[in-house]
Amino acid sequence: MSNDSAPSAVVIVRTGLANLASWVAAFDRLGRETIITDDRTVIERAELLVLPGVGSAGPAMQMLRTHGLIDPLRSRILAGRPTLAVCLGLQLLANESEESPGEKLLGIVDSAVRAFATDKPVPQMGWNSIQVERGSGVLTHGSAYFANSYRLAQAPAGWRIALSTYGGERFVAAMEKGRVLACQFHPELSGPWGLALLRSWLENTPAIEQQPAAVSGSLCKRIIPCLDVRDGRVVKGVKFQGLRDAGDPVGCATRYERDGADELVILDVSATNEGRAAAVRTVDAVRRAISIPLTVGGGVRRIEDAARLLDAGADKVGVNTAAVHDPSLITALSQRFGRQCIVAAIDAARRENAPGWEVVTHAGTQRTGMDAVQWCAEVATRGAGEILLTSWDRDGTRSGYDLELLSAARGASPLPLIASGGAAGVTHLTEAFAAGADAVLAASIFHDQETTPNTLKHALLASGVLMRSPPFAEGAEHARALD
């Protein structure tokens, strides 16, 4: 039990590779210490316990069994003691999972875990609206960040349920009973709404009612600011050259989350080992400052490089040049960390004397002759979870995304597609979404404070694009959406 002065620490079960840095950062922002452990006694005595999970049910159950945690978890959850189960953690409450046939799960709820049967890309990766059934509790309507291929097939009786829809399938987005809260989405990555939910769970304070968002069955389109970082500073150039200082990474990241960014990308463009070491420190510092998904790329050549970035707080890692030289790296990364963590970063330049685009590497300095659109198709078969497609020709030019490239990539690959390079304003974003992008990345216009994600969202929502709707303060001054 905590002393009167300090609020109780939150105990987080060490289930294997979970996004622990994101959890520590989220609770730190809520003024709570965290204890990460697999020690049975600490877990049994925990006033507040989190069961996170990124990965598959089999290894997670094996870990719980090895540490004698199954009975303590079952007894505290059945007693309704304050427990938060997230993503795979929610799925472990069921009897069984298609993902690990034959594995007996915790059996708290009479339900099974099934794969999405939709023709939409799986895993579901992005922002989706949740609708909560009536009743009192901490869950509210809102937009939450998901990264899941499986979901509870049935809503268990006796729990207050929140539902979401993906690809025409209604599924359990979250459920609560007593002080037990289970979320298929990631509250620690769901921005201010997610932090408010965590605070309600911590303090057992009923949530403030929110208006239900429209049920669409599709994910929101995403706006993703990009921090190109060299030696610990944000830089920006044109066609990857002439890099000028564009600020401090934590300052930029904090401002972009406040201003409605749906995700953030850090691209380490350092050329030296010292620069790469600084990049890991930058990831750690940025992770502590934000509660939205963070993708980090640059210099990822081996599994160890990705592990270091994920441990430092990245939720996804981007792999570029090294995968072009050895495509099997994508498969190795996907098998080790799960495809929802792997982003294939592809830099494409129009061919000089022929139609089409070729892949460029080494910060755009080397033309490979490799067909960029075919590479978009291949990375999907190799296990990537998402494509970040940058037009080298458009980078930093404010001349708009390369729409022909985006359309060709959309036709070649089913993966979530992030457009990158050339954005100047809302018209360019609208064009990119119409060309098939699921998300748009931009750097120059945000670094130069010409506009903000929320301002662009205001204009996009007005034109019918499904966005994670920002909490607009009435009458707030919106910088012009630029056209």
Least CB distance to ligand 0VR at residue 239 (A):
9
270 scored as a contact of ligand 0VR (CB under 6 A): no
Binding window for ligand 0VR (CB under 6 A); candidates: 110-118, 209-217, 301-309, 420-428: 420-428
Residue span 195-234 as binding mask against ligand 0VR, x where in contact by CB under 6 A, dash where not: -------------------------------x-x------
Q: Which is nearer to ligand 0VR, 83 or 270 (CB)?
A: 270
- Cβ atoms of 376 and 413 within 8 Å: the answer is yes
Q: Which amino acid is at 466?
A: L
Contacts to ligand 0VR from residues 375-394, by CB under 6 A: 390
Q: Are strands 169-177 and 180-183 parallel, antiparallel or unpaired?
A: antiparallel
Give the tokens for residue 188: 């620690």
442 scored as a contact of ligand 0VR (CB under 6 A): yes
Least CB distance to ligand 0VR at residue 273 (A):
17
Does residue 69 sit in helix, strand or coil? coil
Q: Which of 293, 385, 400, 422 binds ligand 0VR (CB under 6 A)?
A: 422
Annotated catalytic residue: which of 259, 268, 347, 402?
A: 347
261 scored as a contact of ligand 0VR (CB under 6 A): no
User: CA 318 → CA 84, 181, 219, 345, 478, distances in Å?
Assistant: 30, 32, 21, 6, 32
Closest C-alpha to 266, from 308, 325, 302, 224? 224
Q: Which residue has the tokens 């996004």?
A: 19
Binding window for ligand 0VR (CB under 6 A); candidates: 63-71, 194-202, 272-280, 440-448: 440-448
263 scored as a contact of ligand 0VR (CB under 6 A): no
267 scored as a contact of ligand 0VR (CB under 6 A): yes
Question: What's the chain's Rg over C-alpha atoms?
Answer: 22
Least CB distance to ligand 0VR at residue 265 (A):
8
Active site residue 71: no
Residues 6+ apart with CB under 8 A from 236: 228, 243, 244, 246, 396, 443, 444, 447
Q: Which amino acid is at 82?
A: P
Q: Which residue has the tokens 């494509």?
A: 387
Q: Which is nearer to ligand 0VR, 50 or 442 (CB)?
A: 442
283 scored as a contact of ligand 0VR (CB under 6 A): no
DSSP 194: H
Q: Which of 126, 260, 421, 453 binds ligand 0VR (CB under 6 A)?
A: 421
Does residue 201 sit in helix, strand or coil? helix
Binding window for ligand 0VR (CB under 6 A); candidates: 125-133, 282-290, 335-343, 419-427: 419-427
Active site residue 28: no
- Cβ atoms of 380 and 374 within 8 Å: the answer is no
237 scored as a contact of ligand 0VR (CB under 6 A): yes
Q: Which of 176, 263, 268, 347 binds ligand 0VR (CB under 6 A)?
A: 347
19 scored as a contact of ligand 0VR (CB under 6 A): no
147 φ, ψ (degrees, to nearest 5): -150, 75
User: CA 36 → CA 31, 46, 195, 347, 367, distances in Å?
Assistant: 16, 11, 19, 39, 46
User: CA 174 → CA 170, 185, 186, distances in Å?
Assistant: 12, 7, 10
Closest C-alpha to 323, from 274, 270, 279, 376? 376
Q: Which residues bind ligand 0VR (CB under 6 A)?
A: 226, 228, 236-237, 240, 243, 267, 269, 347, 363-364, 390, 395-396, 420-423, 441-444
Residue numbers annotated as active site: 228, 347
